[in-house]
């Protein structure tokens, strides 16, 4: 897929002092990948990590623009899907980077969705004690969330993203034209993270999404400006939070709205296509909203229902019973929640909501209360 590069991309800066970097957002901007890499690291080689699905659609274009800019390229292509965030695939990628004789001044490029960004970023964090890397996210979820902020990881058998490092990229290049090739289910799953930004901190943006989501989903030119606006709004919100709290000791935890429930559901489903990450987060956010609505002084039931209705309107699952197949037990879910990275000294931490656009971190949540709530939701039909 070749697309004409826009001359006026949107640029969002992640302000981290000497480690600051740009998120460049626009339609067709992958055409500028080679010139941007050559300008950032003159004379550097690059090592592209991608998956076999993305490679079919995007790799040839990326290789062509890098070659045109005189950039030498090595690459590794891994299987598509969450299963590639494993020790075995991580080892293969690391060994391939080393075998290519990549030096400390060279670059890794993560060309793909969230799985590739996490995997390639983690490999870059540890090979030769740290290589710089560039994120070229190819899914909506990666463009609005996982490519920004420097969280890199692989999965453990006991939970998602439990083995990793904070390692910031030096550039994020988010070409919205790449989203045209996404299957509808993948695009919807990514939209869950878009809605998250409105729910956690921007009521006006959430209202805009309610009115404009069809344009974001549209694959024609009329929808591209809405897509770019949505991506830019999410990236701007995340950049501001990361600049305040890079290593998630405070505000950055807000970005995990829906993730405590969602990650447990993902793990219970074996990190498989049975439940995509964004689908799990949609259910997790609906659960977090309802859990909040049960608590005095938090979001009202009508507002919680409004938010959940919007997720359902775009075609996302919002109930555990929307997951195909046998559901996990409450014991299994509680065991998985206990592995959540926000747990402190055995006490559960949740991101709850006072109102749409007003999320907050609630530490010390009673596990018995969570167990009772999940038992009730599993019993629903």
CA atoms within 13 Å, Cβ hemisphere of 329: 3
Cβ-based burial of 64 (10 A; exposed 0-12, middle 13-18, buried ≥19): middle
- Cα 355 from Cα 357, distance rounded (Å): 6
From the candidates 160, 227, 259, 341, give the one annotated as an active-site residue.
259
Of 82, 186, 228, 248, which is the active-site residue?
248
d(CA 281, CA 264): 10
91 annotated active-site: no
Active site residue 229: no
Distance, in Å, from the CA atom of 21 to the CA atom of 358, rounded to the nearest integer, reads 28
Instruction: Collapse the DSSP code of 208 into the 3-class scheme (helix H, G, I; strand E, B; otherwise coil) and give the result.
Output: helix
The residue annotated as part of the active site, out of 193, 228, 266, 279, is 193
310 is catalytic: no
Q: Which of 129, 345, 368, 381 is catalytic?
A: 129
d(CA 242, CA 151): 10
Residue of 186, 188, 256, 341 with catalytic role: 256
76 - beta bridge partners?
A: 49
**Is 376 noted as a catalytic residue in this protein?**
no
Which residue among 6, 41, 151, 188 is the active-site one? 151
Q: Which of 41, 167, 227, 277 is catalytic?
A: 277
Tell me whether residue 125 is exposed, middle or buried, using C-beta atoms within 10 angstroms of its C-beta: 0 to 12, 13 to 18, 19 or more. Answer: buried
Q: Is 129 a catalytic residue?
A: yes
Active site residue 186: no
Decide if 151 is catalytic. Answer: yes
Catalytic entry in 252, 310, 341, 377: 252
Active-site position among 41, 160, 238, 310 = 238
Q: Which of 85, 227, 263, 341 is catalytic?
A: 263
Q: Is 252 considered catalytic here?
A: yes
Task: Identify whether the C-beta of residue 185 lies closer than 8 Å to the C-beta of residue 273.
Answer: no
Please list the active-site residues.
Answer: 129, 151, 193, 238, 248, 252, 256, 259, 263, 277
């Amino acid at each position: 897929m070749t697309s004409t590069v826009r001359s006026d991309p949107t640029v969002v800066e992640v302000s981290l002092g000497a480690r600051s970097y740009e998120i460049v957002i626009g339609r067709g901007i992958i055409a500028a990948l080679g010139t941007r890499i050559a300008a950032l690291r003159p004379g550097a080689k690059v090592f592209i990590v991608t998956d076999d699905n993305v490679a079919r659609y995007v790799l040839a274009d990326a290789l062509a623009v890098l070659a045109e800019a005189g950039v030498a390229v090595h690459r590794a292509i891994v299987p598509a899907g969450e299963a590639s965030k494993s020790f075995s695939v991580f080892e293969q990628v690391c060994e391939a980077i080393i075998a290519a004789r990549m030096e400390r001044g060279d670059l890794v490029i993560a060309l793909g969705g969230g799985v590739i960004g996490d995997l390639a970023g983690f490999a870059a964090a540890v090979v030769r004690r740290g290589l710089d890397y560039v994120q070229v996210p190819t899914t909506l979820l990666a463009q609005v969330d996982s490519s920004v902020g420097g969280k890199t990881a692989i999965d453990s058998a006991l939970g998602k993203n439990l083995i990793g490092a904070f390692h910031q990229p030096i550039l994020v290049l988010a070409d919205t034209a790449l989203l045209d090739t996404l299957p509808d289910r993948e695009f919807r799953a990514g939209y869950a993270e878009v809605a998250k930004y409105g729910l956690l901190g921007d009521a006006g943006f959430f209202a805009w999404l309610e009115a404009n989501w069809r344009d974001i989903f549209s694959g024609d030119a009329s929808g591209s400006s809405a897509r770019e606006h949505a991506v830019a709004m999410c990236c701007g919100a995340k950049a501001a939070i990361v600049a305040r709290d890079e290593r998630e000791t405070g505000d950055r935890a807000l970005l995990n709205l829906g993730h405590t429930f969602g990650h447990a559901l993902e793990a219970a489903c074996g990190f498989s296509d049975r439940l995509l990450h964004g689908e799990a987060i949609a259910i997790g956010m609906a659960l977090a909203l309802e859990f909040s609505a049960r608590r005095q002084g938090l979001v009202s039931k009508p507002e919680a229902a409004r938010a959940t209705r919007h997720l359902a309107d775009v075609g996302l699952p919002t109930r555990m019973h929307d997951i195909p197949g046998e559901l996990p037990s409450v014991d299994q879910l509680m065991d998985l929640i206990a592995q959540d990275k926000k747990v402190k000294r055995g006490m559960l931490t949740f991101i709850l909501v006072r109102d749409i656009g007003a999320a907050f971190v609630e530490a010390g949540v009673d596990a018995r209360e969570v167990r009772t709530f999940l038992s009730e939701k599993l019993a629903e039909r």
